[in-house]
Amino acid sequence: MAQYWSNIFMLLLRALIFAPQALLHGFQCPISCSCSFSEWFVKCSNASLSSLPSGIPHTTVELDLQFNQFNSLREDTFPDLLELSTLYLGNSQVRQIEPGAFQGVRNLYHLYLDNCLLEEIPGGVFENLTNLAFLHLEHNCIAYISPGAFSSLKRLSSLDLSYNRLTELSDQALRGLEQLRQLHLSTNLIANLSARALPGKLRTLYLDQNQLDKVPGTIRTSTTLSTLHLSGNHISQLTSLSFGRKLRSLKQLFLDNLDLKKIATLAFKRLRRLEVLSLRNNSLESLPSLESLKYLSILYLTGNKWQCDCNLIWLRTWQKKAMRKERSLVECGSPKALQGQLLVNTELQKLTCPPFQIDSAFNSSANTALKTTIPPNERLLPQATTAQTTTAATFTTLITSRIISTARTSTQNNYHVLEKYDPCLPNHISSIHTQEKGDTALVVTWSSSGDHDQFEVRCKSAVDEQILRVTGGLTEMEFHHLQPGTEYRICIIPQNDNLLKCVAPTAQQCTSGHTRTHPVPQHRSLALGIGVTASILALMALPLFAFYRQRFQQIQFRRYYDEDSPSFQCQGIPQSKLTTEPVYETL
């Protein structure tokens, strides 16, 4: 492209320099033609020409011969026009091209042979066009390409063969096109591509509107392919092998109007750099998750038969979060209760498996049954106090069960009824873990699927309960001021404006956690041990002390009443005698 604009710039420069000189020399434009910038741009279209008019200047840069009547291009059709860079021959009824026809215009950069009557491309036709970058052969009748017919086009960047009659592409058909970046094969009859049909540096490939029944194997090995068009073929399913791991450069993939019915879970997993995916006008009811495609920004999904159930929750979430991304409108084709609704506006609790169902005929019977069978004390009052009002979830279950029972009894038909859904959304919570933090705190973490950015976390023991809210999509929180050494039941409940209150969380969204028991300090344990030991010793010493005290009293009594003195008066006994009595020896 840079070379193209460089050529244009040089042409304009030369025109400004040499055009005045040509006018001074009395230049005359060929008959039936018109010229611009003197002899540089010659236009001879719609002139009923069957051969090249005489007088074409050798310095012509662009020659327009469209809408004429050239039956064939012979070897001597073009004289030496070495400055010619663009040649238009479209709509000129060319049926045959002989080898060497372009020998005199070997510096061509653009060649247009579109909308002609060509049936084949024989070898040697483009032998001398070594500078050609763009070749247009669309809207012909080409059914066969000779091996190596383009081998001399070493600098060809774009080849357009769309709207022809090709049934296959052999290994040798595009041999030698080492610089080819764009290949247009739209609207042919191609049912097969050989294993080596595509050039190694191809960036863009158009294979739409052909007869393919699967993704060709040669595409799966193209490491440079960036854009692929396969729309309008007969590919009814995509397997996990449809797109190989070597397609690491693919950014745009178009799969419209394929009558596509099934896509395998891993069909697009290897397309890591995919940015644009189009699946319009197929027969798809579901779509595997594309959340692994981090670069995906545009997704076209209109014109399918989407079944809005739990398998499309990821898509609803993706659409909600795709603020700058292209949001393709996904309209529910089934179940009947959701038919015609946009997926992005569908209440989350209605995306159930099996699909959400409610029959209109059932509604009328149910309404009648509701009025006649529910006792007055169980009906919902407009202004009920907190003490008299049943919780929303319990009331809904009660009403639903009574409606189902009454409707079946009265109509004797198997109507589809409102599928039970759990407002606690347990299937959206997984991998709940708790970790103690000190003896009065617990850390809780979990994983969540869906578009929930708010959670209610309940922490309950036998004696107390804490309920906290987490917002902003966080999946971790801490509970403080808990009882040490206590077991708690922790439950995670997703919050949504459309949900009823969760009354009984399931085991899937709950787990248990234990707080740490108070540790006993080491110095307190030692003091306690010493105290206990001292108490035991004191208790053991108490009877001994009592015993010896009693014995001591008996010995003292004998000392005073066994004296040899005839009288019981002791006042006159000297102190020294008391200390020398025999009783003390016995003692």
Q: What's the pLDDT score for residue 532?
A: 66
Amino acid at 158: S
Q: What's the pLDDT score for residue 8?
A: 54
- Whether 555 shows a pLDDT value over 60: the answer reads no
Residue from 415, 420, 421 nearest 359 by CA: 415
- Whether 21 shows a pLDDT value over 80: the answer reads no
| 3-class SS string, 33-86 | CEEECCCCEEECCCCCCCCCCCCCCCCCCEEECCCCCCCEECCCCCCCCCCCCE
The answer as to CATH 1.10.3720.10 being correct for domain 426-514 is no
Length of the chain: 587
User: Stretch 393-422: mean pLDDT, rounded?
Assistant: 40
22 Cα distance to chain centroid: 64
* Confidence at 246, pLDDT banded by 50, 70, 90: confident
Q: Name the token pair of 336.
A: 């009947």
What digits encode the pLDDT tens for the residues 180-189? 999 999 999 9
What digits encode the pLDDT tens for the residues 68-102? 999 999 888 888 899 999 999 999 999 999 988 99
In this structure, are residues 428 and 540 in contact, taking their beta carbons and an 8 Å threshold? Answer: no
User: Stretch 551-567: mean pLDDT, rounded?
Assistant: 43
Q: What's the pLDDT score for residue 6?
A: 56
Q: What's the pLDDT score for residue 128?
A: 86
What digits encode the pLDDT tens for the residues 126-168? 988 999 999 999 999 999 999 989 999 999 999 999 999 999 9
Q: What's the pLDDT score for residue 576?
A: 39
Q: What's the pLDDT score for residue 559?
A: 41
Rounded CA separation 438/434 (Å)? 13
User: Stretch 513-531: mean pLDDT, rounded?
Assistant: 66
Pairing of strands 442-448, 429-436: antiparallel
CATH 2.60.40.10 residue ranges of the chain are 426-514
* Confidence at 356, pLDDT banded by 50, 70, 90: confident
User: Stretch 301-308: mean pLDDT, rounded?
Assistant: 94
Backbone dihedral region for residue 74 (phi beyond 0: left; psi -120 to 50: alpha; all else: beta)? beta
Q: What's the pLDDT score for residue 9?
A: 54
User: Stretch 200-213: mean pLDDT, rounded?
Assistant: 95
CATH 3.80.10.10 residue ranges of the chain are 1-211
- Residue 52, classified by CB atoms within 10 Å of its CB into exposed (0-12), middle (13-18) or buried (19+), is buried
Strand, helix or coil for residue 316: helix
Q: Where is pLDDT greater, at 456 or 1? A: 456
- Whether 362 shows a pLDDT value over 60: the answer reads no
**Taking the CB of residue 505, how many other CB atoms lie within 10 A of it?**
20
Residue from 269, 231, 230 nearest 247 by CA: 269
User: Stretch 438-463: mean pLDDT, rounded?
Assistant: 85
Among 106-110, 230-234, 341-345, 449-453, the least confident range: 449-453
Q: What's the pLDDT score for residue 283?
A: 95
Q: What's the pLDDT score for residue 446?
A: 87
CA atoms within 13 A of residue 169's CA, in its CB half-sphere = 26
Mean pLDDT of the chain, nearest integer: 78
- Percentage of the chain with pLDDT > 90? 41
Which pTM does this prediction carry? 0.62
Q: What's the pLDDT score for residue 406?
A: 38
What's the farthest any 2 CA atoms get from each other in the chain?
185
Rounded CA separation 116/122 (Å)? 16
User: Stretch 565-571: mean pLDDT, rounded?
Assistant: 41
Q: What's the pLDDT score for residue 237?
A: 94
User: Stretch 340-360: mean pLDDT, rounded?
Assistant: 84
- Whether 521 shows a pLDDT value over 90: the answer reads no
- Residue 387, classified by CB atoms within 10 Å of its CB into exposed (0-12), middle (13-18) or buried (19+), is exposed
Q: What's the pLDDT score for residue 391?
A: 37
Q: What is the CATH number of domain 1-211?
A: 3.80.10.10
Cβ-based neighbours of 511, under 8 Å, separated by 6 or more: 432, 433, 434, 489, 490
Q: What's the pLDDT score for residue 334?
A: 93
* Segment of 17-21, 207-211, 397-401 carrying the highest mean pLDDT: 207-211
* Confidence at 210, pLDDT banded by 50, 70, 90: very high
Residues forming a β-bridge with 351: none
* Segment of 152-166, 398-412, 497-511 carrying the highest mean pLDDT: 152-166
* Confidence at 28, pLDDT banded by 50, 70, 90: confident
Exposed e or buried b per residue across 137-173, where buried means at least 16 C-beta atoms within 10 angstroms of its C-beta: bbbbebebbbeebbbbbeebbebbbbbbebebbbebb
